[in-house]
Structure 1
Amino acid sequence: MAYDYALVHLKYTIPLAGLLTFILRPLLTKLDLYKTVTLILIAFFATLPWDSYLIRHGVWTYPPDAVAGPRLFGVPAEELFFFVIQTYITSVLYILLNKPVLHAQFITNRDDSSPTSRRIRALGQVFLVGCIAVGASLVKKGGEGTYLGLILVWACPFALLTWSLSGYFLIKLPLVCVATPIIAPTVYLWIVDELALGRGTWAIESGTKLGWRVWGNLEVEEAIFFFATNTLIVFGLVAFDRGLAVLYTFPEQFPHAPLTPSPSLLIKVLLTDPAKYDMARVNGIRESVETLRRKSRSFYLASSVFPGRLRIDLVLLYSFCRVADDLVDESRTESEALGWINRLIKYLNLVYGSQGQLPFSKRYVDDFVEKNFPKATRSALELLPTDLLPSRPLYELLEGFKMDLSFANIGSKGIQFPIKDEADLETYAHRVASTVGELCLWLVFHHCDTKLPKDKKSILVVAAQTMGHALQYVNIARDVLVDAKMGRVYLPTTWLKAENLIPQDIVRDPRQPKVEKLRQKLLERAFKEYERSRDTMNILPREVRGPLIVAVESYMEIGRVLRENTGVPSKTRKGRATVPRSRRIWVAWKNLSAA
């Protein structure tokens, strides 16, 4: 029986912690460990004196035959371990649920918050102050309300501090990301506590408790205690994430943003006046995230494993590419589409300078964007991190859009189809996909702590361009039906001719058996390009290798789905084959495990 408390950990807490660690391990970063260890240390040293007080004053007791013996300030070693393991379990669950969330989009201040959010924050503060007052009154009175009072006067000041610092941010977070890591561990520990109280592993003295039970042997004070402690852990993590979000989102205010910032830097960030936040930038990030959710679920999922400021810049880059593409694709006429391309070229000329001219000021560029682009698209241009990107790939991307427009040119034989042979196919893929891959890589080079020599950078750029071919071939293979509805055929005309087809045949009937044969031929070419460049990714710095591999593999999985489901894909969205969410998560987990 001397190991009864230790058995509670062996049977209930350690297995759960191990399972959560196994699930999170491929996604775990140094920053996650930093946050978890910090919270554990805070929880340990904040709880130790309080717990010691309870034991020394006879509120809590541990039968001698239930604990092994070693103590610190009267607190058994098993109880000390409980401080650690509970904080770890709740922290890991919170981190796991928040991985897909880009916290920068939830930064806010009083002016940006709704009246409802302001009322909720104020009511939360009033409630917590009231709980402190009630707790103090119960402690002063003594007797049966002592334990509950001690819980309130210990937990509520911490909760009030974190709520006051991060209340607006917390309210905006998805409910599941905050409520689940509070409720799930709380209910689990209620069950564990009910079993332990029933076995007599620990006990609350009758003179200091109300005597109310939630169910079985679970005292109401114990239920409140576990809810309060898990709330404190999650509130602390939310405050941590708010500080990191502010640090990574505003490079002008915080030029240096290490992946594991010092506690002093985080405190400085948390105490920064929210009125100084550049909310226009935050709103632009929100719009970029929404664009990704609608337009590229694969990249949105992959972006969740990129670290810090790199993730934000990648999201802004990809949003620009999608917005520019939509401006052209959604034009009603060829001349309107060409007008958008010319405006985008003018925008790049102003940003980078052209024909010997120096770049124009940001204010001038922003005025140009405001006068020449729809409101919904402006932030994508204004927030594009052009100071970190070379101009050539961006200009080449616009040339790719021009190739799309050439389908609208009506010649003597009707619609012209610009992808005449494999060379045209490769040129097109290079312009619309390899350019994006290269741009992503330059952001990686800038943000990564590990700096690569020029020769390795050159090798990686070439590999990114080759991989871009592979990804675009998969994209074309996926979108044969959608493109045909638009009067476009990206399969090389020479391939069609070998099957006694012309592009117009594909436009009329994109579901015919010969199309599937050509789709598989294109996928074969895609996977050859993928295999040529995949091993080169291993020379990427470790901190970004896994996320970049996930970004590639998430998209190549679409190609694998198309290979597995010849004919009509088993699952489609708007005519496009898609990968089930569970499979995309498995691909990410598997590749991060191997990276």
Structure 2
Amino acid sequence: MAYDYALVHLKYTIPFAVLLTIILRPLLTRLDLYKTLALITVAFTATLPWDSYLIHHGVWTYPQDAIAGPRLLGVPAEELFFFVIQTYITCMIYILMNKPVLHAQFLTNKDDSSPKCRWIRTLGQVVLATSIAVGAALVEKGGEGTYLGLILVWACSFALLTWTFSGYFLIRLPLTCVATPIILPTIYLWIVDELALGRGTWSIESGTKLGWCLWGSLELEEAVFFLATNALIVFGMVAFDRGMAVLDTFPELFPEAQTNLTPRLLIKAILLDPSKYPLDRVKGIREAVDTLRRKSRSFYLASSVFPGCLRIDLVLLVADDLVDDARDQGEALDWINKLSGYLDLVYTPEGVRPSSTKVVTEYIENNFPKHTRSAFELLPTSLLPKEPLYELLEGFKMDLSFSQTGATQQSPKFPIKDEADLQLYAQRVASTVGELCLWLAFHHSTTRMPKEKEAILVVAARTMGHALQYVNIARDILVDAEMGRVYLPTNWLKEEGLTPEDIVRDPKQPKVETLRERLLSSAFKEYERSRPVMDMLPSELRGPLIVAVESYMEIGRVLREKKGVPSKTKKGRATVPRSRRIWVAWKNLSSQ
């Protein structure tokens, strides 16, 4: 029986922690481990003197035949391990729930928050302060409310501190990101605690407790304790994430953090007055995230495995949809011309004085709608070559060819005449984006690569762009036909006895599946050419970039399996179930 408490860990806490570790191992970054270790250190340091006080004042007791013997300040080794394992479990669940979330978009302050948000923050402060006062009164009174009072004073003091600094940010986070890592381990530990109390592994002295049980042997005080401590752990993780979001979102405020992240800088970011946040950047990130979620859920989910700064720049890069949302050809062409003017200002010719920030800002304000301006103001053009961006505009012009009225032989309404045109189109609209993403990855990587390796990887990225765009076209045959567009090469259609007009009239006819499979075969051929080259990437970039590619290629695999077509579609597009996308990410990260 001397190992009764140790058996609680062997049977309940350690297996749960191991399971979470196995699930999260491919997703865990060095920063995740640092955060967890820091929270464990804080929790251990904060809980040890409190628990020691309880034991020395007879609130807590441990039967000698239930513990192995070693103690620190009177606290059994098994209890010390509980501080560690509970914190670890809760941190792992928090990390799991928050992986898909870009925390930068939730940075806010009093002026940016709604009246409801400000009211909730104030209410939280009042409730926590009142709980501290009630707890102090119970401790002062002594007797049966002593243990509950000690819990309230100890836990709510820390909670009030973190809530005051991170309350606005915490309130804006998705509820599941905060509630799940509090509720799930709390319920699990309630069950474990009820079993332990029932066996007499530990006990609360009858003179210091109210004697109320939630069920079975689970004392009210124990239920409150586990709820409060898990909330403290989550609040601590939220504070860390807010600090990292500040460092990632506002590099101009902490330039040294980009090359040398230290605990001092993180604490400085956590303590930074939210009123000093440059919220225009935050609002731009929010708009970019909303746009990207609409355009590509696969890429948004895949982006969650990229480091914070790189993820923000990638989201800002691929989120623009001005041309896609144009009402007609004239408006779309106008946007293309304005985008070209924007690039002309940003990338001034060599020997010409660079355009000032003021000139670029004025151009953006005079030419683009308010809700899109931040995307251009925040686009990291200083990190990107200009050629792919100009080439991307040429791709947009190819899209407009489908809308031409009175098209001539030289400028047909269906410009994708053969496979060479298909490749040119993919090169302009997708290879360019792949190359730009890679340059951003190179910039944010801590590993510097030789120029010759970078050049090989850029070629591979452009080839992979062909593959991803072919998958995109194969998926969207129905959607494109409804817009009067057919990206399948006209000579392919001719071989099947079809014309582009036939596809527009009936995009669901059987021959379309033959053409879709041919396009997918081309896609996977390009994919197989470029995928091995990605193994040359530094380890910190390899996993995330492979996940981004594989998440999109999985759409092609779904199309080939005929799963989700047409029974599971979104606006006529085949979709990959979220669970499958998560599995693809996990599997590919595990193999790196």
Shift of 1:256: 3.1
Judged with a 3 Å threshold, the aligned counterparts in structure 2 of structure 1 residues 33 and 56 are, in CA distance, closer, same or farther, namely same
Matched, 1:34 2:34: yes
Output one character per residue of 1:157-207: Cα deviation in whole Å (capped at 9) or x when no partner: 111110011000001111111111111111111111111111000011111
Corresponding residue for residue 462 of structure 2: 465
Corresponding residue for residue 216 of structure 2: 216
Where does 1:339-488 land on structure 2 (aligned, <5 Å)?
A: 339-354=334-349, 357-409=352-404, 410-411=406-407, 416-488=413-485
Corresponding residue for residue 232 of structure 1: 232
Matched, 1:128 2:128: yes
1:589 alignment partner, SS class: helix
Shift of 1:415: 5.5
Q: Counterparts of 1:461 and 1:541 in 2: how far apart (Å)? A: 14
The partner residue of 2:327 within 320, 328, 331 is: 331
Corresponding residue for residue 277 of structure 1: 277
Corresponding residue for residue 255 of structure 1: 255
Corresponding residue for residue 119 of structure 1: 119
Shift of 1:135: 1.7
Preserved contact between residue 259 and residue 307 of structure 1 (Cα < 8 Å): no
Where does 1:12-27 land on structure 2 (aligned, <5 Å)?
A: 12-27=12-27
Q: Counterparts of 1:543 and 1:337 in 2: how far apart (Å)? A: 39
* Worse-superposed segment, 580-589 or 232-241: 580-589
Where does 1:23-172 land on structure 2 (aligned, <5 Å)?
A: 23-172=23-172
* Worse-superposed segment, 554-563 or 569-578: 569-578
2:376 alignment partner, SS class: helix
Q: Counterparts of 1:297 and 1:37 in 2: how far apart (Å)? A: 32
Judged with a 3 Å threshold, the aligned counterparts in structure 2 of structure 1 residues 494 and 567 are, in CA distance, closer, same or farther, namely farther
Q: Counterparts of 1:470 and 1:412 in 2: how far apart (Å)? A: 30
Preserved contact between residue 323 and residue 336 of structure 2 (Cα < 8 Å): no
Output one character per residue of 1:95-117: Cα deviation in whole Å (capped at 9) or x when no partner: 10001111001000111011121
| Paired amino acid for 1:453 | P
Shift of 1:218: 1.1
1:27 alignment partner, SS class: coil
Where does 1:532-547 land on structure 2 (aligned, <5 Å)?
A: 532-547=529-544
Q: Counterparts of 1:149 and 1:32 in 2: how far apart (Å)? A: 34
| Paired amino acid for 1:102 | L
1:411 alignment partner, SS class: coil
* Worse-superposed segment, 250-259 or 164-173: 250-259
Corresponding residue for residue 7 of structure 1: 7
Corresponding residue for residue 184 of structure 2: 184
* Worse-superposed segment, 92-101 or 379-388: 379-388
| Paired amino acid for 1:370 | E
Preserved contact between residue 484 and residue 504 of structure 2 (Cα < 8 Å): yes
Q: Counterparts of 2:586 and 2:196 in 1: how far apart (Å)? A: 36
2:497 alignment partner, SS class: coil
Matched, 1:300 2:297: no
Q: Counterparts of 1:4 and 1:522 in 2: how far apart (Å)? A: 64
Output one character per residue of 1:89-146: Cα deviation in whole Å (capped at 9) or x when no partner: 0000001000111100100011101112112111211221222222222222222121
Shift of 1:412: 5.2
Q: Counterparts of 2:214 and 2:180 in 1: how far apart (Å)? A: 20
Corresponding residue for residue 572 of structure 2: 575
1:531 alignment partner, SS class: helix
Output one character per residue of 1:407-430: Cα deviation in whole Å (capped at 9) or x when no partner: 223235795211111111111100
Q: Counterparts of 1:568 and 1:243 in 2: how far apart (Å)? A: 44
2:305 alignment partner, SS class: coil
Q: Counterparts of 1:523 and 1:239 in 2: how far apart (Å)? A: 46
Matched, 1:511 2:508: yes
| Paired amino acid for 1:326 | D
Preserved contact between residue 474 and residue 556 of structure 1 (Cα < 8 Å): yes
Corresponding residue for residue 527 of structure 2: 530
* Worse-superposed segment, 130-139 or 237-246: 130-139
Judged with a 3 Å threshold, the aligned counterparts in structure 2 of structure 1 residues 236 and 284 are, in CA distance, closer, same or farther, namely same
Q: Counterparts of 1:465 and 1:558 in 2: how far apart (Å)? A: 19
Shift of 1:546: 1.0
The count of corresponding residues between Structure 1 and Structure 2 is 590
Q: Counterparts of 2:542 and 2:435 in 1: how far apart (Å)? A: 15
Relative to the length of structure 2, the TM-score reads: 0.97
| Paired amino acid for 1:368 | Y
* Worse-superposed segment, 388-397 or 109-118: 109-118
2:214 alignment partner, SS class: strand
1:214 alignment partner, SS class: strand
Shift of 1:358: 3.3
Q: Counterparts of 1:437 and 1:223 in 2: how far apart (Å)? A: 51
Output one character per residue of 1:460-491: Cα deviation in whole Å (capped at 9) or x when no partner: 10000000000001111111111112121111
| Paired amino acid for 2:541 | V
Q: Counterparts of 2:591 and 2:539 in 1: how far apart (Å)? A: 12
Q: Please provide the CA RMSD for this pair.
A: 1.6
Q: Counterparts of 1:339 and 1:481 in 2: how far apart (Å)? A: 27
Shift of 1:209: 1.2
Output one character per residue of 1:201-243: Cα deviation in whole Å (capped at 9) or x when no partner: 0011111111121111111111111111001100101111111
* Worse-superposed segment, 246-255 or 405-414: 405-414
Which runs of 5 or more structure 2 residues have no equivalent in the other structure?
Answer: none
Judged with a 3 Å threshold, the aligned counterparts in structure 2 of structure 1 residues 345 and 395 are, in CA distance, closer, same or farther, namely same
Q: Counterparts of 1:162 and 1:183 in 2: how far apart (Å)? A: 19
Preserved contact between residue 564 and residue 574 of structure 2 (Cα < 8 Å): no
Shift of 1:567: 11
Corresponding residue for residue 245 of structure 1: 245
Judged with a 3 Å threshold, the aligned counterparts in structure 2 of structure 1 residues 576 and 291 are, in CA distance, closer, same or farther, namely same
Q: Counterparts of 1:114 and 1:567 in 2: how far apart (Å)? A: 40
Q: Counterparts of 2:141 and 2:350 in 1: how far apart (Å)? A: 82
Relative to the length of structure 1, the TM-score reads: 0.97
Preserved contact between residue 543 and residue 588 of structure 2 (Cα < 8 Å): yes
Preserved contact between residue 251 and residue 258 of structure 2 (Cα < 8 Å): no
2:353 alignment partner, SS class: coil
Q: Counterparts of 1:256 and 1:438 in 2: how far apart (Å)? A: 27
* Worse-superposed segment, 140-149 or 286-295: 140-149
The partner residue of 2:590 within 567, 590, 593 is: 593
